[in-house]
């Protein structure tokens, strides 16, 4: 039996740990085992490594290192940003604004706030997957205390007008959180220039291991803990720090900074090559939110008359890993909430695939993927009564 050669096109779900990160991670696991809160030499070595990593990660988003909190990843960062600020606000009436295309880590946290008596407004986007700052402004109330809008969408790659929304928030005296999990390491990020008060990142989205991330908290921002224990991370996140994870995240950040300009251009060219190849080979397909400003590595394509899950399985059998939506929502019966939110029908939402490219992908792999997509779609459409009826 011939072994299928495998190619990975699902980097928005997670990325492989890079050789450069692995090179610093293994020694940190073996040698830097002290508790960073201990005063002996082993502890102080761990503390030193932790603070070096903090400076490296701060460089990725252009913030002051002391404003960076290490934690377990994007979901915890979003939870701490939203719950920590809203619960710390002493007002009796509380209101939060977010969008309908946010990651479940934000949407489900907002639903928890609703259970706690907080009102939440979910602002819709247009068909381009981009929220209009005017709609955010229209949703403002006297009791609004937080706006949370993602920097880049995980399914579409659509980049949101963070700077404009931050200006609105600042003028109204409202805190602004941006989920930057799909932006950091892919596009330039300067949290001070953007004007955000809180910004979430996750290491496994740019070649660090799973289980490490960070939250930027602008100096002076009132933030209550959502976990309770020791006084770690300047009393913002209790628990013994994951020093090897932080070291790995620091190296991943340093590598991202070094390669950002060239890799951004390379990935954008590969993404465009992929889109063009698919659209030239297949009828009744198109790019969702394809005219929007997007992260360079992401495209979301609909294939009318097909089931996205069937395409995922067919491509996997051919050796290509792709996605029909957010990995955090896999197994859900419902179609993507993001695609429904931008106005797609349930049928077209179910017929959409996300391709997210990364460092390992090449032109040859992209061309092979185009062939595999064309073959899989043609085969599945022959079996599809929905597609037969539509042509």
pLDDT tens for each residue of 133-150? 999 999 999 999 999 999
Q: What is the mean pLDDT of residues 173-194?
A: 98
How far lies 163's CA from each of 133, 136, 159, 184, 389, in Å? 10, 13, 11, 15, 46
Pick from 133, 188, 196: which is nearest to 165 by CA?
A: 133
Q: Is the pLDDT of residue 327 over 60?
A: no
Mean pLDDT (whole number) for 337-344: 98
Radius of gyration of the chain from its Cα atoms, rounded to whole angstroms: 22
- What digits encode the pLDDT tens for the residues 278-324? 999 999 999 999 999 999 999 999 999 999 999 999 999 999 999 98
Least confident of 64-73, 84-93, 359-368: 84-93
Whether residue 357 contacts residue 271, with contact meaning beta carbons closer than 8 Å, is answered with: yes
Residues facing residue 176 across a β-bridge: 147
Which pLDDT belongs to residue 246? 98
- Six-digit token pair at 218? 């602008």
Q: What is the mean pLDDT of the chain?
A: 95
pTM higher than 0.85: yes
Domains 7-15+260-390 and 19-255 share a fold: no
- Tell me what the mean pLDDT of segment 27-43 comes to: 93
In percent, the amount of the chain with pLDDT more than 90 equals: 91
- CB-side exposure of 369: number of CA atoms within 13 Å? 31
Task: Kindly state the average pLDDT of the residues 213-232.
Answer: 95
Catalytic one of 63, 110, 285, 328? 328
Mean pLDDT, to the nearest integer, of 147-156?
98
* Average pLDDT estimate for 375-389: 83
Q: How many helices (H) and strands (E) does the chain have?
A: 14, 12
Domain ranges of the chain: 7-15+260-390, 19-255
DSSP state of 207: T
Q: Is the pLDDT of residue 331 over 60?
A: no
> Comparing C-alpha atoms, which of 163, 159, 142 is closest to residue 151?
159
Beta bridge partners of 178: 199
Q: 391: pLDDT confidence band, cut at 50, 70 and 90?
A: very low
Helix, strand, coil % in the chain, rounded to nearest 5: 45, 15, 40
Domain 7-15+260-390 of CATH type 3.40.50.2300: no
- pLDDT tops 60 at residue 326: no
What is the spatial distance between Cα 61 and Cα 362, in angstroms, rounded to a whole number? 27
**Nearest residue to 242 via CA among 234, 233, 255:** 233
Q: Quickly list DSSP for 79-121.
A: HHHHHHHHHH---SS-EEEEETT--HHHHHHHHHHHHTT-EEE
pLDDT of residue 328: 55
Over 60: is that where the pLDDT of 368 sits? yes
Please give the average per-residue pLDDT across 147-159, as a whole number.
Answer: 98
Q: How far is CA 1 from CA 4, 316, 317, 330, in A?
A: 9, 17, 14, 30
Residue 328 appears among annotated catalytic residues: yes
Domain 19-255: which topology?
3.40.640
Structure tokens belonging to residue 89? 């606000």
CB 155 within 8 A of CB 339: yes
- DSSP letter, residue 291: T
Tokens of residue 370, six digits = 């185009």
Half-sphere exposure of 321 (CA within 13 A, CB side): 18
């Amino acid at each position: 039996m011939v072994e299928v050669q495998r190619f990975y096109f699902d980097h928005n779900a997670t990325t492989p740990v890079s050789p450069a990160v692995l090179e610093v991670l293994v020694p940190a696991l073996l040698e830097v085992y002290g508790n960073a809160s201990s005063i002996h030499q082993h502890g102080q070595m761990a503390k030193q490594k932790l603070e070096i990593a903090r400076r490296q990660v701060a460089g990725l988003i252009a913030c002051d290192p002391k404003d960076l909190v290490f934690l377990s990843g994007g979901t915890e960062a979003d939870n701490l940003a939203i719950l920590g600020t809203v619960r710390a606000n002493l007002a009796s009436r509380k209101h939060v604004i977010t969008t309908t295309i946010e990651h479940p880590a934000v949407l489900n946290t907002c639903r928890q706030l609703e259970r706690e008596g907080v009102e939440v407004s979910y602002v819709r986007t247009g068909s381009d997957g981009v929220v209009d700052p005017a709609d955010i402004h229209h949703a403002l109330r006297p009791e609004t205390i937080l706006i949370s809008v993602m920097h880049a969408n995980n399914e579409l790659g659509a980049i949101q007008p963070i700077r404009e929304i931050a200006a609105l928030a600042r003028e109204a005296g409202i805190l602004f959180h941006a989920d930057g999990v799909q932006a950091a390491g892919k596009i330039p990020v300067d949290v001070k220039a953007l004007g955000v008060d809180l910004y979430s990142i996750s290491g496994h989205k740019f070649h660090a291991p799973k289980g490490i991330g960070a939250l930027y908290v602008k100096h002076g921002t009132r933030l209550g803990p959502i976990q309770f224990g020791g006084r770690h991370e300047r009393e913002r996140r209790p628990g013994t720090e994951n020093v090897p994870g932080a070291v790995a995240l620091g190296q991943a950040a340093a590598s991202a900074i070094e390669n950002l300009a060239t890799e951004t251009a390379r990935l954008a060219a590969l993404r465009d090559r992929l889109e063009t190849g698919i659209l030239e080979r297949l009828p009744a397909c198109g790019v969702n939110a394809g005219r929007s400003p997007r992260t360079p590595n992401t495209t979301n394509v609909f294939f009318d008359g097909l089931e996205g899950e069937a395409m995922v399985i067919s491509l996997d059998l051919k050796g290509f890993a792709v996605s029909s939506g957010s990995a955090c929502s896999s197994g859900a019966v419902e179609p993507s909430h993001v695609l429904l939110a931008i106005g797609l029908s349930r049928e077209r939402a179910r017929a959409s695939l996300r391709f997210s490219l990364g460092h390992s992908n090449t032109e040859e792999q992209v061309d092979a993927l185009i062939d595999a997509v064309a073959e899989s779609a043609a085969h599945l459409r022959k079996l599809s009564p929905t597609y037969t009826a539509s042509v």
